[in-house]
């Protein structure tokens, strides 16, 4: 199973990742110390095993170092999360993504070598907050602490019937329009001559402050 994925921790977050990877045709080893959870994934993952991920010998027997990418999605037990991540990196696992439950947990994971740290609860909270505040925002993806990619529907008549050149989003708002969804069509890297229509959804990338300013104008 070289270059496959291993998911350690089959709670709501880890289980969702496991299922999504399998749906995309990936080989996935599902690992959890809870027998009931492992049994649930026997028919979903390529392999599902009961294992204490803080036991280095047990991980070696599973051949965990042969996996291209290991996701540590242990939630409640922060100590196990940190120890598992540390063991994986010391064993030479190429890429480790680890779930953090809070900022202190994230800093520790980062210090011990996690290649990527994710905050699913925090990020989902931010997405929901953006949806609540903006009637025009259809989707939101945080790229960093300061930059995001969003989908914004065009409802303000002031923008309709005008070209991207006329609206000059980059100089006026400091954002870039990287795509336009128009009905069932997706326009990638639109031309300056493209004229906005009432059904258009803009794919916008920029700083959070600039995106907020654009939202206020569009809304």
Residue 112 within any structural domain of the chain: yes
Residue 127 within any structural domain of the chain: no
The residue ranking higher by pLDDT, 127 or 46, is: 46
Report the pLDDT value the prediction gives residue 1, as an integer from 0 to 100: 42
Report the pLDDT value the prediction gives residue 175, as an integer from 0 to 100: 92
Residue 189 within any structural domain of the chain: yes
**Domain count along the chain:** 2
Range of the domain at 193: 134-218
CATH number, position 32: 3.40.50.720
Residue 128 within any structural domain of the chain: no
Does 142 lie in the same domain as 97? no
80, 103, 74, 57: which is closest to 6 by C-alpha?
74
Residue 129 within any structural domain of the chain: no
58-108 confidence digits (pLDDT tens): 999 999 999 989 999 997 789 999 999 999 999 999 999 999 998 899 999
Does 113 lie in the same domain as 11? yes
Residue 204 within any structural domain of the chain: yes
CATH number, position 143: 3.30.70.1450
Report the pLDDT value the prediction gives residue 137, as an integer from 0 to 100: 64
Residue 169 within any structural domain of the chain: yes
Report the pLDDT value the prediction gives residue 146, as an integer from 0 to 100: 79
151-195 confidence digits (pLDDT tens): 888 877 788 889 999 999 999 989 999 999 988 889 988 999 999
Residue 26 within any structural domain of the chain: yes
Looking at the whole model, is its pTM more than 0.75?
Answer: no
- Residue 3: pLDDT band (50, 70, 90) is low
66-76 confidence digits (pLDDT tens): 998 999 999 77
């Amino acid at each position: 199973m070289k270059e496959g994925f291993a998911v350690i921790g089959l709670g709501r977050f880890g289980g969702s990742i496991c299922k999504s990877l399998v749906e995309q045709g990936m080989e996935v080893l599902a690992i959890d110390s809870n027998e009931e959870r492992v049994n649930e994934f026997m028919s979903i993952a390529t392999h599902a095993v009961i294992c204490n991920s803080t036991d280095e010998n047990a991980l070696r027997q599973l051949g965990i170092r042969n996996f291209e990418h290991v996701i540590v999605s242990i939630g409640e037990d922060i100590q196990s999360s940190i120890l598992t991540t540390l063991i994986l990196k010391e064993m030479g696992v190429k890429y480790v993504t680890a779930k953090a439950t809070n900022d202190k947990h994230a800093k520790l994971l980062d210090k011990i070598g996690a290649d990527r740290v994710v905050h699913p609860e925090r990020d989902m909270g931010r997405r929901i907050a953006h949806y609540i505040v903006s009637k025009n925002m259809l989707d939101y993806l945080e790229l960093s602490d300061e930059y995001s990619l969003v989908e914004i529907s065009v409802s303000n008549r002031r923008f309709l019937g005008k070209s991207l050149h006329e609206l000059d989003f980059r100089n006026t708002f400091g954002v870039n329009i990287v795509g336009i969804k128009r009905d069932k069509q997706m326009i990638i890297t639109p031309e300056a001559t493209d004229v906005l229509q009432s059904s258009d959804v803009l794919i916008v990338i920029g700083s959070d402050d600039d995106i907020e300013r654009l939202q206020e104008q569009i809304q």
